[in-house]
Structure 1
């Protein structure tokens, strides 16, 4: 393989880590996956191991990688992640410094949904003014305006789970993950179904039952879509994006899309196209590779 520059992009979740080796064109040359380190385990050793596995796939030395970008479910700072309940084992750690020592190259941290939005931006199909909304364990948004990712004053732009919609925003119990997220977190689909029917079910099972024509499951998904649309309506009112892209384990479900569109139209926002990400679960990896190259672009261009 030639001496073309290579980087590592990482999608750090609460239960698994996905990592990709990418080139300057944004092509993912190799992808690896592992379970996220348990509390007390070492994230830096895991990423060193994943880097070695990625490098072996394409036949290069691990040291050829120039930088790493990590997307995690929280607000990224120069040191680590805050407001990250699914990454609680990293609380108080200077994640960035630890990873840079272990990997021997620059490391960039960013919110995982922001990273996915960068992936959509690099793919070029959503344009330069769009909102990427991820629906899965929770809800989050990556906002791109004029081709630039909007991070906000404290890096928390896009934390739309805290919109005062759905659950009571004055109840302190709803402050941990936000009033809207209390209504659209993935687990609420199964809980709604059990409340309605008395039968426990996962979100996957609810989708399957709705596909078979189950009225209760269909009603649950319709109610879920209504609250998603309420959040999207707030985005439209404030930002006026040219498009909204849905992603994440639940947001990417094609059967959810028409329900969201219908509710958004009923709320007076039929003019805004809503689509499902064509990159799917690869969006965060594409975005992380894009971000990692941004960290070393001046160094690379000077060579």
Structure 2
């Protein structure tokens, strides 16, 4: 099981458990955490809109929180693991520590494998290699698309059903890799929802670490540092494994950045967070914008607006 395959393990539910325990350094009894983490509307009628019991909602979410290393049980009480707490103290800022823990766990290939979360990065590599110029349907499972791209390796993404695909999308959005647009309360609106690969927030979160030793880098060094934090980007170990699964290799794959990465970097430049420059005779990468191309050889960090 994983955050993709456990239907109940959406970001809001895992964070509800985390936030409830963040202010309780000595832990809390399980029943009290369940009461805090379960919305009163569900507690009152005993199930969700699909008839799922609150017990299942909580127990399955808690099982995933344990699997990922978020919580532990000590002397009949639940508490955050020391790693999950990350030095955070009672008060504001719990979501900052929650996100930091998720990134340490989900984007470290060794830890992801140990906690049964490796499929998430494979799925994210596929997602980021897709084009944001052709938004995906939120209500259409991607099995056929995956099969056409990577054949029998498709199962490694864990996106084998619509529910799993949508769970993956919720996590991709929460972690800063996706935008979900459209949709409303009725069925017709929901089926009109579209998903766009959009890693701007993820890349922006990595900028302080990438530029920790200087504000100007060659593009290859920038990409290597980005991929060390998020191995799902070009040059990253998981992205390279995914590219090796392709039935049809990408042309100029070692020189060209994907449309998704290219547009994300350009948007950060437009927001005055980065400056991209081309230096004559310097090694560079091709920026693919779909209808046109660009080139970049150096990237510099600008002060936050």
TM-score of the aligned structures, taking structure 2 as reference length: 0.30
Q: Which has the larger radius of gyration?
A: 2
Ranked by relative contact order (alpha carbons within 8 Å, sequence separation 6 or more), the top structure is 1
- Please identify which structure carries the higher strand content: 1
